[in-house]
Amino acid sequence: MAATGAAFVTLGFLTSLTVPVTVSGFRDLVPAEEGHPLCFKDHHKHGYTYDRCCNRDLGPHGLVTCWDAYMDFGFCCRPMAPLPKRAHPTCWTGLLENRHEMCCMGGSQHLAGPRGQSECWEEKERAGEPSKSTLGMCCDFFSAWRLANGSSTSSMIDVWARFPGSSSRAACLIEGYATTCSFPGIAFRVPDWHDNQLAMGKGASLPKRARPPLLWQLPAVSLRATRPRLELLTLGVGTYKSSVAQLVADAGALDVFDAVHAFSDFSFLSEDERQRWERHLRAWREGARIAGYGWWKPFLCRKLLSSASLASGRGLLVFSDAGSRLEPESAASWQSLAFAMRSYDVMAVVDIEHMERHWTKRRTLRQFEHGLRGTGFKDEGQFVSRLFVLRNTPATQRLLAAWEQLVEDITLVNEDLDPRGEAPEFRAHRHEQSVWSLLLKSAILGRPVQRRPGAPQMNVTARILTITEGYEAHQLTDFARRHD
Ligand SMILES: *[C@@H]1O[C@H](CO)[C@@H](O)[C@H](O)[C@H]1NC(C)=O
Ligand SMILES: *[C@@H]1O[C@H](CO)[C@@H](O)[C@H](O)[C@H]1NC(C)=O
């Protein structure tokens, strides 16, 4: 995007008009009231005010006579968030008219997710419509703060995020959907041809290439700044022992991790701990998946996070499933992520193709239902537990403690189904991953978590940096082993 003194945004609001957006002028554009400034600035005189247009008492879309093809309730009345570039001259014409939200928020069929669907533009191209646009040109990829010292862009999102006093809490593209929420301070690289090929599952046939970082902290951190300590954790037992050795070798060659903790058995357990996890261990000996439904992920993470080397609050613990590969090309992305994590507690990966209600059994959904009621938690993608990054903060420790306590209840992670039957759309339970996903959604949306019946509710609020499975996570790691 050109860093010119002024950018012009063309808008249609019953009548088209052109609003010059300059950095010096953006203060004037941001009214004290709520709603998107582009919708209400300069339109007061026509009677288009936030209070009138966004009045939910009039219906789910407020005052419908306020809206046209460019501006609608979703754009004007929600909190500021990463949004489609509504003003783009060719993105939202023809087939994609009024499909901006669906194309940018990621997914049809209620598969909410943070960064859009490349299918939209493929469809446009197939239909022979003018489409030099790429996904990146049409949507804002959480570009919450791209401006640096007086440059400007046509994106009001950037301007808003930089506005003094703008809130640093999560802003959600769709209210109640955790995976559409973002925090300012991070810029995402626009996906290129390679990324789009990866997104389409064509990674295996692509030549290796240097990968520019996917995201970075803003303002950009000097390369001479001290990088936070990065430690890697993995565990694989039985047939996965060789995968552990492979990952350790990969990590050595990558040279970004300050320590690697690799386990290929449970000999690290004390006698007390062995007793505590006996049911899970027995299940593992009897063939349960993820070495006993993955109970050891929160357990080991909590132990390592409290170790001396990571206790500073700046240390980062990376968990990766054995079976994934760390490629040398990912070094720059890992370096950049380590800096970006200074503003976050957790980096998590969401699989927007895997809807929560398909991959979490009723018992586990029910555990979170009260806290997450009124949100889209079942209809959005599931966070995966095969890769995540933890910063040693009180919020992370609370989240891990909750995960560990929940996983300890074997009925939440095992494959026993509800005696009254599961929902028709349910396919399989994802063990500790299902719990992790629901916990993260609670953390992002600030919803309380019930760990045990009768126990006080727990506040697990945390700042979660969300990246998507597919090409985004691929900048960091290759999930060679598929789940299903
Ligand atoms: C940006 O502005 C800050 C102070 O406002 C200054 O310290 C910094 O050097 C500037 N950076 C650039 C790249 O001009
Ligand atoms: C939960 O904790 C966060 C900070 O960690 C705080 O901002 C928020 O108000 C708390 N929520 C409740 C309901 O106590």
Span 413-432, pLDDT tens digits: 999 999 999 999 999 999 99
Residues 320 and 456 placed together within one structural domain of the fold: yes
Ligand 1 centroid–CA 150 distance in Å is 10
Residue 187's pLDDT is: 73
Residue 24's pLDDT is: 27
- Residue type, position 104, single letter: C
Residues 255 and 390 placed together within one structural domain of the fold: yes
Record the pTM: 0.78
Residues 431 and 370 placed together within one structural domain of the fold: yes
219 against 253, higher pLDDT: 253
Q: Ligand 2 pocket: which residues have CB below 6 Å?
A: 395, 446, 459, 461
Whether 177 is in a domain gets the answer: no
**Which of 163-177, 275-289, 310-324 shows the lowest mean pLDDT across its residues?**
163-177
Residue in the block written with tokens 């995966």? 384
Whether 179 is in a domain gets the answer: no
Alpha carbon of 111 to those of 24, 240, 352, 466: distances in Å?
Answer: 39, 32, 6, 15
Residues 147 and 66 placed together within one structural domain of the fold: yes
- Could you read off the pLDDT of 287-327 as tens digits, one per residue? 999 999 999 999 999 999 988 788 776 789 999 999 999 99
pLDDT above 60 (res 161): no
Whether 187 is in a domain gets the answer: no
For the Cβ of 267 lying below 6 angstroms from any atom of ligand 1, the answer is no
**Which of 22-26, 165-169, 295-299 shows the lowest mean pLDDT across its residues?**
22-26
- Could you read off the pLDDT of 31-75 as tens digits, one per residue? 334 666 667 766 666 778 888 888 888 887 888 888 876 677 766
Residues 160 and 209 placed together within one structural domain of the fold: no
Whether 185 is in a domain gets the answer: no
HEC letters along 440-452: HHHHHHCCEECCC
Choosing from 149, 221, 222 the residue with most ligand 1 atoms within 8 A of its CB, the one to mutate for a pocket test is 149
For the Cβ of 239 lying below 6 angstroms from any atom of ligand 1, the answer is no
Residues 237 and 150 placed together within one structural domain of the fold: no
Q: Element (H or E) spanning 389, and its range?
A: strand 381-391
Ligand 2 centroid–CA 456 distance in Å is 15
* Alpha-carbon 391 to chain mean position: 16
> Which of 112, 135, 164 corresponds to the end of one domain?
164
Cβ 460 vs Cβ 442: under 8 Å: yes
Residues 160 and 229 placed together within one structural domain of the fold: no
Whether 116 is in a domain gets the answer: yes
Choosing from 460, 461, 463 the residue with most ligand 2 atoms within 8 A of its CB, the one to mutate for a pocket test is 461
Q: The CATH number of the domain where 342 resides is what?
A: 3.90.550
Residues 236 and 342 placed together within one structural domain of the fold: yes
> Which of 135, 164, 193 corresponds to the end of one domain?
164
**Domain total of the chain:** 2
Whether 483 is in a domain gets the answer: no
pLDDT average, residue stretch 70-87: 65
For the Cβ of 222 lying below 6 angstroms from any atom of ligand 1, the answer is no
- Could you read off the pLDDT of 99-116 as tens digits, one per residue? 777 777 665 555 667 776
Residues 20 and 142 placed together within one structural domain of the fold: yes
pLDDT above 90 (res 144): no
Domain span including residue 272: 203-474
Whether 276 is in a domain gets the answer: yes
Ligand 1 centroid–CA 475 distance in Å is 30
Ligand 1 centroid–CA 139 distance in Å is 28
Residues 207 and 154 placed together within one structural domain of the fold: no
Residues 352 and 431 placed together within one structural domain of the fold: yes
Whether 155 is in a domain gets the answer: yes
Residue 140's pLDDT is: 64
Residue 285's pLDDT is: 96
Residue 171's pLDDT is: 67
309 against 435, higher pLDDT: 435
pLDDT band of 343, cuts 50, 70, 90:
confident
Look at ligand 2, atom 5, and give the residue with the nearest C-alpha.
Answer: 461
> Which of 164, 180, 195 corresponds to the end of one domain?
164
Alpha helices per DSSP H over 151-277: 156-162, 193-199, 241-254, 271-276
Residue 211's pLDDT is: 80
Residues 411 and 323 placed together within one structural domain of the fold: yes
Look at ligand 2, atom 10, and give the residue with the nearest C-alpha.
Answer: 459
